[in-house]
């Protein structure tokens, strides 16, 4: 083999190895801090493991999962989770589309409006929860003062101490935080449609509803898909807002909160891990949809 050939073959070798080399730091971090813990959590979920009984840790198969599915507390949290999920997905989509249409109108200062509209998304969810707690405060908070002042109620409403009003407030805060992302995704979708298509449709005499039905809606669908899946994942994983609105109480807990309480309050690592796996399973189904909608957007 001549010297030149050797140089060439080391060069192609280098080319083959280089991408893996560049990916090494990322794979290292993700492997140690994400993938390994996920697998470990699964192995915990198959064990009887209470920190209060550290000598008695052993494999019990699916017993944790069966116990959880049979406990009333889990179904209570499940109802709460589903309530938040449905409320957040429906109203974030509606509000997001409305804000997108609003932002699409070109006026002076529309840049400032855009900045204001993403503010709820940009700020810490915990602090957002605190701000809204002041509005829905059970005593003389902003809303109660307003309603009392208008004479609509005679006593302050205890928004945060009843289950369904608390969940409603949690949903409102999460909707408020996730609307900006939905709005921007819709806006990106709307702006990606070339105006020639609309001109052509108008030339062919298409009505407004037909234009929306056959042009706007299908072309925006992939973008709305990204927004929808991302919003659902956010809605399942709500945590900070619940803590700031009602503390670590049982009243408004979702499954994630229940898993937190089981793990760190009752120190039942096995059961807590199993509960997280149930949440993650739901999130993963959405995640696959998310991945598909993201990839579709790229092709588009």
Partner 1 sequence: MKYMKKIVYVCELLLFLVVTIGPFVWAFVLSVTPDNAVFAPTVKLLPEHVTWAHYGELFSPDSRRGTAFFSAMLNSLRAVGITLCIGVPIAAIAAYALGRMEFKGRNLIKNLLLITMVIPVMATIIPLYRMFAAGEMLDNIFWLSIVYVSSYLPMAVWLISNYFATIPRELDEAARIDGCGEAKTFFYVMLPLSYPILISVVLIMFLNTWSQFQIPLILASSMETKPMAIIVSEFMTKDSVQYGLIAAAGMLALIPPAAATLFFRKYLVAGMMKGSVKG
- Smallest distance from the beta carbon of 177 to partner 1, in angstroms? 8
Selected range binding partner 1 among 38-46, 52-60, 78-86, 198-206, rule: CB under 8 A:
38-46
- The verdict on 7 binding partner 1 (CB under 8 A) reads no
- Smallest distance from the beta carbon of 215 to partner 1, in angstroms? 20
- Provide the residue count of the chain: 300
Smallest CA-to-CA distance from 164 within 276, 248, 86, 68 is with 86
- The span from the CA of 41 to the CA of 269, in Å, is 9
- The span from the CA of 133 to the CA of 137, in Å, is 5
- The span from the CA of 92 to the CA of 75, in Å, is 25
- The verdict on 266 binding partner 1 (CB under 8 A) reads no
- Smallest distance from the beta carbon of 171 to partner 1, in angstroms? 15
- The verdict on 298 binding partner 1 (CB under 8 A) reads yes
Instruction: Kindly tell me which residue out of 48, 65, 82, 297 binds partner 1, with binding defined by CB under 8 A.
Output: 297
Q: Are 175 and 91 in contact (CB under 8 A)?
A: yes
- Looking at residues 89 to 108 of the shown chain, list those that interact with partner 1 (rule: CB under 8 A): 99, 102, 105, 107
Counting Cα atoms < 13 Å in the Cβ hemisphere of 24 gives 5
Name the CA radius of gyration of the chain, rounded: 25
* Sign for the pseudo-dihedral over CA of 120, 124, 125, 127: negative
Instruction: Kindly tell me which residue out of 22, 52, 55, 58 binds partner 1, with binding defined by CB under 8 A.
Output: 22
- The span from the CA of 282 to the CA of 233, in Å, is 9
- Looking at residues 97 to 156 of the shown chain, list those that interact with partner 1 (rule: CB under 8 A): 99, 102, 105, 107, 111-128, 130-132, 134-135, 137, 139-142, 145-146, 148-149
* Sign for the pseudo-dihedral over CA of 238, 244, 245, 249: positive
- CB nearer to partner 1: give 7 or 22: 22
279: number of Cβ within 10 Å: 19
- CB nearer to partner 1: give 201 or 287: 287
- Burial of residue 144 (CB within 10 Å: 0-12, 13-18, 19+) is buried
- The span from the CA of 71 to the CA of 250, in Å, is 14
- Smallest distance from the beta carbon of 140 to partner 1, in angstroms? 5
Smallest CA-to-CA distance from 84 within 258, 255, 261 is with 255
Instruction: Kindly tell me which residue out of 6, 10, 36, 202 binds partner 1, with binding defined by CB under 8 A.
Output: 36
- CB nearer to partner 1: give 19 or 203: 19
- CB nearer to partner 1: give 67 or 287: 287
Instruction: Kindly tell me which residue out of 83, 91, 169, 180 binds partner 1, with binding defined by CB under 8 A.
Output: 180
- Smallest distance from the beta carbon of 200 to partner 1, in angstroms? 26
Selected range binding partner 1 among 67-75, 157-165, 179-187, 194-202, rule: CB under 8 A:
179-187
- CB nearer to partner 1: give 28 or 200: 28
């Amino acid at each position: 083999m001549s010297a030149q050939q050797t140089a060439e073959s080391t060069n192609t070798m280098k080319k083959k190895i280089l991408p893996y080399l560049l990916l090494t730091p990322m794979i290292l971090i993700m492997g140690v801090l994400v993938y390994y813990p996920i697998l470990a959590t699964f192995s915990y979920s198959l064990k009887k493991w209470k920190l209060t009984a550290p000598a008695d840790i052993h494999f019990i198969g699916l017993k944790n999962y069966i116990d959880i599915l049979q406990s009333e507390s889990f179904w209570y949290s499940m109802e709460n989770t589903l309530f938040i999920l449905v409320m957040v997905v429906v109203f974030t989509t509606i509000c997001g589309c409305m804000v997108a249409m609003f932002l699409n109108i070109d006026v002076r200062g529309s840049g400032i409006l855009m900045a204001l509209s993403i503010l709820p998304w940009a700020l810490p969810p915990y602090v957002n929860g605190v701000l809204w707690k002041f509005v829905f405060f059970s005593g003389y908070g902003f809303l109660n003062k307003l309603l009392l002042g208008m004479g609509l109620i005679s006593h302050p409403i205890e928004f945060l101490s009843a289950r369904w009003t608390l969940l409603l407030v949690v949903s409102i805060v999460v909707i408020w935080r996730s609307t900006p992302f939905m709005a921007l995704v819709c806006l990106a979708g709307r702006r990606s449609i070339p105006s020639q298509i609309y001109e052509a449709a108008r030339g062919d005499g298409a009505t407004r509803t037909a234009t929306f039905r056959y042009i706007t809606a299908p072309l925006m669908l992939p973008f709305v898909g990204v927004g929808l899946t991302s919003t659902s994942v956010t809605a399942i994983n709500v945590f900070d807002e619940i803590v700031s609105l009602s503390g670590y109480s049982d009243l408004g807990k979702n499954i994630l909160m229940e898993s937190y309480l089981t793990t760190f309050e009752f120190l039942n690592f096995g059961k807590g891990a199993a509960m997280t796996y149930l949440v993650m399973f739901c999130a993963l189904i959405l995640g696959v949809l998310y991945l598909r909608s993201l990839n579709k957007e790229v092709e588009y």
